[in-house]
Amino acid sequence: MLHPFEPVYDANSNVLILGTFPSVKSREQSFYYGHPQNRFWKVIAALTKSELPTTLEAKKALLLTHGIAIWDVIHSCDITGSSDSSIKNVVPMDFSTILAQSQIKRIFANGATAAKLYQTYCEHTTGIPIIKLPSTSPANAAFSLEKLLTTWSILNL
């Protein structure tokens, strides 16, 4: 399966947050973190002291206003449903364009799988280490929203 949509970034983006590959719900909406139980947008809104965005335009504006870029580590792969554990035959993203056209100096992983894949396939090329954050996925029930906010506050937004 080929990654279905483009990264969100602009020339002022200084932080890049990477997931693995869009979930079924995200693919249906053609945008990142589309599952209604995913806490990504709640976390970013809280950390930036912003209203929770509900439209694609508001989500993009929230990110860009605060210098945040988002994308995924995987360009293409075999995946069953939305399960990261089913990912096989990974072809990684090429980050050269996004890094050349932005101010990105820090890269964060939304979850352990994104961090591991980036370290395996991308870090040697980008030269930028990744900082692993706990996943905002509803599958990560061990982390409450409050605990996510505490650990994600390292973004310093």
Q: Tell me: the pLDDT tens digits for 111-129?
A: 999 999 999 999 999 999 9
pLDDT of residue 157: 85
CA distance 66 to 143: 24
Mean pLDDT computed over 31-40: 96
Residue 107 has pLDDT above 90, yes or no: yes
pLDDT of residue 91: 97
**pLDDT band with cut points at 50, 70 and 90 for residue 46:** very high
Share of the chain above pLDDT 70, in %: 100
Crossing angle of helices 40-47 and 56-65, in 10° steps, is 40
Report the chain's mean pLDDT, rounded to a whole number.
96
Give the end-to-end CA distance of the chain in Å, rounded to a whole number: 33
15-155, superfamily in CATH? Uracil-DNA glycosylase-like domain (3.40.470.10)
CA distance 143 to 121: 27
Global pTM? 0.97
Report domain extents, the chain.
15-155
Mean pLDDT computed over 78-82: 93
- Residue pointed to by tokens 């993203």: 93
